[in-house]
Amino acid sequence: MPEGVRPYPRWDGPLATGPRITVVAMDVVTRAFRNLWSQLTLVLIAAWTIVSLGNLYQGRDTTDAHTMDGFVDFLNNLRWGSLAIAAIVGGPALLEDQRRGALELYFSRAVNSADYLVGKILAIFGLSTLALFLPAFLYVVVSTFFFTEHPAGWGTALFGALLYSFILGALVSGLALGISSFSKSSRAATLILGGAFVILDLVVSNLLQEITRDPKMQILSPFAAFQQQSEWIFPDVVSGAEFPLWWGILELLGLTVLGWLLLVWRRPRVRGDEHGRA
């Protein structure tokens, strides 16, 4: 075998049955739960959820423990977990199949390119969305047992959390799959997505804000733009963003569309059908 060519691992397990899209999606989910780094991320998400619920229980006799601002702060801390899941799982989701020649194996069977891509998209989008929504669901459910009085607008808190999770899931999963479709290394794809958000959020926006004394420089962080959306999703929440709301909406839309367009443009193709990349 020529040097640098890696064979696709021989499958020695049971054959999956059911809809082809579901089979592809469940394969991604299974790999995610077997991956050490995604397991660690899930543990951290669970740990943060347990700690937050514990703090909520300890403050059940006070009036300032159960607020909409506190709920949104809880969600905003979990956005890093959603990003990590998208980067870890989405980075190699397309690249590894193409590099190991798995596409020829898939497409020579009953799976077509649409089944393959939709299955991958559903898995990555679902995982990154649920990483934020499931803890939110637990928070809302548990709070009903700890408190008899809830903040204003609490009746729509779960729906707001679902919408908040969808926005984040569409953003990070689209970018993860878009980067994975043109990257030459799955590790690089993961680091590009995760590193870009860390640098833009923790370094560039904060540093330029201090240098220029202009709080509008927060817009350079995609997470600042995402956090700003809590102002119209949740009642009476102040995000702390110092730039106009439409700036944040345009940034999120632009990045989300960019990720999905990259996927459409550079989507995996079998060898001999790569003329579409030109």
Asked if 51 and 45 count as a contact pair (C-beta separation under 8 A), the reply is no
Domain containing 184 equals: 20-270
Q: What is the pLDDT of residues 106-162, one digit of tens each?
A: 666 666 777 888 889 999 999 999 999 999 999 999 998 888 888 888 989 999 999
Total number of domains in the chain: 1
Confirm whether 51 is domain-assigned. yes
Highest mean pLDDT, choosing among 60-64, 83-87, 109-113, 200-204: 83-87
Confirm whether 225 is domain-assigned. yes
Please tell me the predicted confidence (pLDDT) of residue 181: 81
The C-alpha angle 124, 126, 132, rounded to 5 degrees, equals 110
Q: Is the pLDDT of residue 175 over 90?
A: yes
Q: What is the pLDDT of residues 223-277, one digit of tens each?
A: 999 999 999 999 888 888 888 999 999 999 999 999 999 988 877 766 555 544 4
Confirm whether 78 is domain-assigned. yes
Confirm whether 197 is domain-assigned. yes
Confirm whether 275 is domain-assigned. no
What is the distance between the alpha carbons of residues 52 and 73, in angstroms, rounded to a whole number?
A: 10
Confirm whether 13 is domain-assigned. no
Asked if 52 and 74 count as a contact pair (C-beta separation under 8 A), the reply is yes
Q: What is the mean pLDDT of residues 183-202?
A: 83
